[in-house]
Amino acid sequence: MTDLPVVALTDCADSNALARQSARIATLFGATPTVLPISGPDPEGAAALTLLDLLRSTDLTGGPTRPVVVLVNIAPRDGHWPNGVPFCYFRHGQHLVISTASPRVLAPLAGYLGLDEVQVTDVREVVEAAAAGWAELTTAEVEEIVRTQFRSLWYVPLLARWLADGRPVPSLPLAVRPSDEQPVRVAVVDNFGNCKLDRPAVELPGYDGTEGLTVRSRHDGRRVRVRCYDRLPDVPLGEPGITIGSSGIGFAELVVRGGSAAELFGLSQGDQVFHLTI
């Protein structure tokens, strides 16, 4: 297949990196990609919600759709892997997703989209299989791809192209499970200052109650009781509220109608807002 649309989420987000990735993906797929930087103090949390939203956005179309290729590169710098976390792939309907094999990024897909397994790849194994089978790569070129630190540039677009073409890419299955993390965190702060949380509103402690939920201000430690509403338009102008937002599967948002919840409470990406008790 050619001319496939590609959407890439990456924490290699400087202009030099984005330019190189855009050019390489366009060369391989015949279409200009959408490359979106994922930054901030908690890129894994932001990528998890963004990927869930991205895949959700392909639903509710009322008719046939075209395949999309999604690339996700969010690499924890924990030193656990010799050259970074491996990449995996899976399909959501007709769409192909290549992602860092990060449990935090994949867990929401297991919890809310039913993803139960991904296929994990090894860079050397895949590139050597390609060179021996269908790709015109010399031994020196194989080594360059295998040893590079910029795998989201040199390896991931090739992996996506080969999978889209139906090549026999070697891989191993890996089970994916929903997260058992109990802290409810800010996954994304949008351009209005709304704090998108990483959990459905109905899972928040006391969301269905009449007294609202307590949110602690990070400015001064003051605890504020915030009422719960179905939608943003239901929140009184200038007041804070917790609503069923636009992300995920009814995920909660902490908002201020006509203002910024992030500024009011001093919250940023990755901050804990609630803790679930089980």
Tell me: pLDDT of 101 over 80.
yes
From the centroid of its chain, how far is CA 200?
16
User: Domain 6-175, what architecture?
Assistant: 3-Layer(aba) Sandwich (3.40)
**Lowest model confidence (mean pLDDT) among 31-40, 153-162, 205-214:** 205-214
As a whole number of Å, the end-to-end CA separation of the chain is: 48
Query: Is-contact 205 276, C-beta < 8 A?
Result: yes
**Quick one: pLDDT at residue 167?**
98
Q: Which band of pLDDT confidence, cut at 50, 70 and 90, is reported for residue 211?
A: confident
Q: pLDDT tens for residues 34-44?
A: 999 998 899 99
Cβ neighbours of residue 114 under 8 Å, at least 6 residues apart?
none
Structure tokens at 243: 């609503």
How large a percentage of the chain has pLDDT more than 90? Answer: 86
**Quick one: pLDDT at residue 278?**
44
Alpha carbon separation from 258 to 222, 235, 252, 268 (Å, rounded): 22, 10, 18, 18
Q: Which band of pLDDT confidence, cut at 50, 70 and 90, is reported for residue 180?
A: confident
**Quick one: pLDDT at residue 205?**
80
Tell me: pLDDT of 27 over 50.
yes
Query: Span 53-62, mean pLDDT?
Result: 95
Query: Span 82-96, mean pLDDT?
Result: 90
Across 159-169, b (16+ Cβ under 10 Å) vs e yields: bbbbbbeebeb
**pTM for the predicted model, two decimal places:** 0.93
**Quick one: pLDDT at residue 80?**
53
Mean pLDDT estimate for the chain: 93
Structure tokens at 185: 């965190």
Tell me: pLDDT of 277 over 60.
no
- Using DSSP's 3-state secondary structure scheme, residue 30 falls into coil
Structure tokens at 43: 């890129």
Fold of 183-275: Elongation Factor Tu (Ef-tu); domain 3 (2.40.30)
Quickly list H helices, the chain.
15-29, 43-56, 103-112, 123-133, 139-147, 151-154, 156-164, 261-265
**Which residue is associated with the tokens 């001093």?**
266
The domain locations on the chain are 6-175, 183-275
